[in-house]
Amino acid sequence: MFVMVDSAINIYGGFKMAYKFQIGAATLSGSINVADGAISGSAVSDTLASAIISEIDAGEIPIAKLAADATISGKSLGGTLDSLTDGNGITDFTYNGSGAVAISVQLNGSTLSNGASGLSLNSVYVASDGLEDDSGKLRVSLSGSASGLNRDSGGIKVALSSSGGLEALNDGLKVKVKAASGIDLDADGLQLDDAYLRGKVSATDAGGDGSFAYNNTTGVFTYTGPSAAEARAHVSVTDAGGDGSLAYAPGTGIFTYTGPSAAEVRAHVSAGTGVAVSNGQFSIGQAVATSDSVTFQTGSFQGDVVITGDLTVNGDTVTLNTTELEVEDSKIRIGKNAVNLAGSTGYGFEIGNNYASLVVGNGSDVNTAFVSSLEIKASRFIGDMEGSLAESVQTISADATLDLDNGTIVLINAAGGDVTLTLPASAGKSGKVIKIKRIDSATANSVTLDGNASETMDGAATVALDSAFAGLSLISNGANWFIL
Q: How many CA atoms lie within 13 A of 481 on its CB side?
A: 27
Beta strand 471-476 with 481-483 is: antiparallel
3-state secondary structure at position 72: coil
Are 84 and 65 in contact by the 8 Å Cβ rule? The answer is: no
In this prediction the pTM is 0.33
pLDDT at position 292:
86
Rg (C-alpha) for the chain, rounded Å, is 69
3-state secondary structure at position 464: strand
Are 404 and 436 in contact by the 8 Å Cβ rule? The answer is: no
Whole-angstrom Cα distance, residue 72 to residue 63?
13
Whole-angstrom Cα distance, residue 18 to residue 319?
148
pLDDT at position 359:
79
Residues 6+ apart with CB under 8 A from 352: none
Cβ-count burial 298-318 (b if 16+ within 10 Å, e if not): eeeeeeeeeeeeeeeeeeeee
Q: What are phi and psi of 49, to 5 degrees?
A: -60, -40
Whole-angstrom Cα distance, residue 354 to residue 350?
7
Partnered with residue 356 across adjacent β-strands are: 351
3-state secondary structure at position 199: helix
pLDDT at position 465:
96
Whole-angstrom Cα distance, residue 57 to residue 140?
48
Burial of 60 (0-12, 13-18, 19+ CB in 10 A): middle
pLDDT at position 120:
55
Residues 6+ apart with CB under 8 A from 399: 419, 420, 421
pLDDT at position 54:
78
pLDDT at position 90:
52
Q: List C-alpha distances in Å: 55 to 40, 61, 226.
A: 19, 6, 121
Q: Where are the domains of the chain?
A: 3-82, 230-262, 335-374, 393-483
Whole-angstrom Cα distance, residue 457 to residue 477?
11
CATH topology of domain 393-483: Jelly Rolls (2.60.120)
CA angle 371, 377, 380 (to 5 degrees): 110
Per-residue pLDDT of the chain (484 residues), as tens digits, is 333 334 444 444 443 343 433 344 333 444 444 444 334 444 556 777 777 777 777 766 655 433 333 444 444 444 444 444 444 445 555 545 545 555 555 544 555 555 555 555 555 444 445 566 666 566 655 555 544 566 566 566 666 555 555 665 666 666 666 666 667 666 677 777 788 888 889 999 998 899 999 999 999 999 999 999 889 989 999 999 889 999 999 989 999 999 999 888 888 888 888 788 888 888 888 888 888 888 877 878 888 888 888 888 888 888 888 888 888 888 888 877 776 666 656 778 888 877 788 777 665 555 667 777 787 777 677 777 777 777 889 999 999 999 998 989 999 999 999 999 999 999 989 989 999 999 999 889 999 999 999 999 999 999 999 999 999 999 999 999 999 9
pLDDT at position 14:
40
Whole-angstrom Cα distance, residue 128 to residue 142?
8
Burial of 258 (0-12, 13-18, 19+ CB in 10 A): exposed
